[in-house]
Amino acid sequence: MATVLTDIERLLVNRLQDGLPITATPYADIAHELGLTETEVISTIETLLANGVLTRFGPMWQIEKAGGTFTLAALAVPEDDIERVAGIVNAMPEVAHNYLRNHHYNMWFVVATTSDAGCQQVLRTIEDQTGLAVLNLPKQQEFRVHLRFDA
Amino acid sequence: MDALDQALMQISAAGLPLVSRPFAALAEQLGTDEATIIHRMQRLAEQGVLRRIAAVPNHYRLGYLFNGMTVWDIRDEALTDVAAAFCQLPFVSHCYQRPRYPDWPYNLFAMIHAKDEATAKDMEARMQQLASEHCRKHTVLYSTRILKKTGLRIPGDQTFAR
């Protein structure tokens, strides 16, 4: 299941999780730092996105600082209804990610909206369309956010 | 956030262009110039609205097969101390307080990521030791399938409050 990475891929997966400089030529800057060429950096990122090692490459926003809202929500979905409910939840553009987990509450998703009211509306729509009650778990306090995977 | 900031957020939601001058490419799409876009990105980063421009790996593809959301029912008076102790652990990536409900007793959430089950169990055991008598109940919800992982997309008809 794990993908075998080349040395250049491994180097870039590790380095690119820490962030790109905001300069006119960020790929050339990273290339210079790592002893690669700009073309190698760009083509390797393309490969990593194409083969699914990276799910995304781009800006990561902290929307709360702009008045937006993130919430974590969960549904208890009957096993034979998962595909239908996932279809409804995933179709909402405000749902940033959605995972199945091994619990009675088995579907866990994050909703990102520009306002609290917008968030409530998304959750209501999901309840209306799925016929299931949403467990809404907005964060009350953030103690740590540092996600980094060594490739 | 003004209209240009928000347009920048929308247009880059799919990712940063993979070209030599990515901000020039964004500027062209937005009808402005490269220096303006770079300045806006730097300002958004200073404001904390932009966390960073970075790669998001699929952790399964890197061999992290055990991705657990550990959830804990911690006595309110000890919550901050237990959270601080969890944050000292290098394998805890996110740690949040969230509300309890009648059928959901857990108020502290911490994410862990491991390549094998034994390592994940060790992590859980170390956390359990730290929470000790402050914890009434805990469990770990492992992810079994990624249904969606697109990251943030803000629809074009919505605007931020600030």
Cβ contact A101–B92 (<8 Å)? no
Residues of chain A with Cβ-Cβ distance to B62 below 8 Å are 2-3, 13, 53, 149-151
Residues of chain A with Cβ-Cβ distance to B146 below 8 Å are 97-99
Residue pLDDT, tens place only, A10-40: 999 999 999 999 999 999 999 999 999 999 9
Find the angle CA(A98)-CA(A17)-CA(B98) to the nearest 5 degrees: 40
| pLDDT greater than 70 at residue B152 | no
Question: Which residue in chain A is spatially nearest to B36 when comparing CA positions?
Answer: A24
Spatial distance between the Cα atoms of B109 and A134, rounded to a whole number of angstroms: 18
Find the angle CA(B64)-CA(A70)-CA(B76) to the nearest 5 degrees: 85
CATH no., domain A63-137: 3.30.70.3460
| pLDDT greater than 90 at residue B20 | yes
Lookup result for tokens 């959301």: B69
In the chain, the amino acid numbered A124 is R
**ipTM for this model:** 0.81
Cβ contact B146–A99 (<8 Å)? yes
Q: Answer left, alpha or beta for residue A79, where phi above 0 means left and psi between -120 and 50 means alpha.
A: alpha
To the nearest whole angstrom, how far is the Cα of B20 from the nearest Cα of chain A? 6
* Cβ contact A62:A80 at 8 Å: no
| pLDDT greater than 90 at residue B13 | no
Lookup result for tokens 């911490």: B110
Q: What is the mean pLDDT of residues A71-85?
A: 97
| pLDDT of B25 | 97
| pLDDT of A150 | 75
| pLDDT greater than 70 at residue A49 | yes
Residue pLDDT, tens place only, A82-136: 999 999 999 999 998 999 999 999 999 999 998 889 999 999 999 999 999 999 9
Choice between B18 and B2, residue whose per-residue pLDDT is larger: B18
* Cβ contact B130:B86 at 8 Å: yes
Spatial distance between the Cα atoms of A126 and A75, rounded to a whole number of angstroms: 10
Q: What is the mean pLDDT of residues B43-66?
A: 92
| pLDDT of A82 | 97
Residues 115-144 on A with a CB inside 8 Å of B are 115, 118, 135, 137-144
Q: List, in sequence order, the alpha helices (H) in A17-145.
A: 26-34, 38-50, 82-91, 116-130
| pLDDT of B8 | 93
> Is A41's Cβ below 8 Å from some Cβ in B?
no
| pLDDT of A64 | 83
| pLDDT greater than 70 at residue B33 | yes
- Full DSSP string of chain B: --HHHHHHHHHTTT----SSSHHHHHHHHHTS-HHHHHHHHHHHHHHTSEEEEEEEE-GGGGT--EEEEEEEEE-GGGHHHHHHHHHTSTTEEEEEE---BTTB---EEEEEEESSHHHHHHHHHHHHHHHGGGEEEEEEEEEEEEEEE------TT-----
Of A70, A122, A63, A64, the C-alpha closest to A93 is: A122
Write down the domain spans for chain A.
Answer: 7-50, 63-137
- Averaged pLDDT score across all residues of chain B: 92
Spatial distance between the Cα atoms of B46 and B48, rounded to a whole number of angstroms: 5
Spatial distance between the Cα atoms of B19 and B11, rounded to a whole number of angstroms: 15
Residue pLDDT, tens place only, B92-121: 988 999 999 999 999 999 999 999 999 999
Of A97, A70, A125, the C-alpha closest to B58 is: A97
